[in-house]
Amino acid sequence: MKTFSKSTIRNVIVFFTGPLFLIPAVMVGLLITSIIRKNYVDFFGFAYEGLVGAVGLSLLISAGCLLFAYPLTLIWGIPTIYILEKTNCLNVLNLILIGLSGATLLTLFIVLIFVTPLKFDYSFLWIWLVSIYCTTAVSLGCWFVYNRCEKI
């Protein structure tokens, strides 16, 4: 007797493993940013030494990003996959576009609640670019895991 459908099992696997693709994405992003800035001592107020410190810092930042990624995947990503699957519109482009719309809404929420009352500057652009980068990494990770779980 089957308790859960194939779709439910697949979505649970996607939920637990898809956001983990954020770890290498943040690591690569931080290393590229460090190389472009040519400053291995300070990263926006966080001090570290050399590339080993950059990797350690990226793991800490990844852990912080995962605190946002898992709830957002549960609230936004899994229902998106379910709806796109039921309407036979599930492809990587639709998944990324809907993820980017969620990232834009999240950025607007953060800017309106936290940034604007303090002072208005262009920090919202950095928040938006980082959230788009992270959302794309998680969306591609979920898509990759979803396709790999198709054989279950």
Pairing outcome for strands 42-43 and 46-47: antiparallel
Please compute the mean of the pLDDT values over residues 109-126 and round it to a whole number. Answer: 72
Query: Counting Cβ atoms within 10 Å, is residue 62 exposed (0-12), middle (13-18) or buried (19+)?
Result: buried
Parse the chain into domains and list their residue ranges: 6-151
> What are the backbone dihedrals phi and psi of residue 105, each rounded to the nearest 5 degrees, phi first?
-65, -40
3-class SS letters over 16-42: HHHHHHHHHHHHHHHHHHHHHHCCCCE
Does residue 85 contact residue 7 with C-beta atoms inside 8 Å?
yes
Tell me what the mean pLDDT of segment 87-116 comes to: 86
Angle at 1 between CA 84 and CA 14, to 5 degrees: 30
Residue range 4-49, pLDDT digits in tens: 888 888 888 989 998 999 999 988 887 787 777 665 555 555 666 6
Global confidence as pTM: 0.82
Q: What is the pLDDT of residues 56-85, one digit of tens each?
A: 778 888 888 899 889 988 898 888 988 998
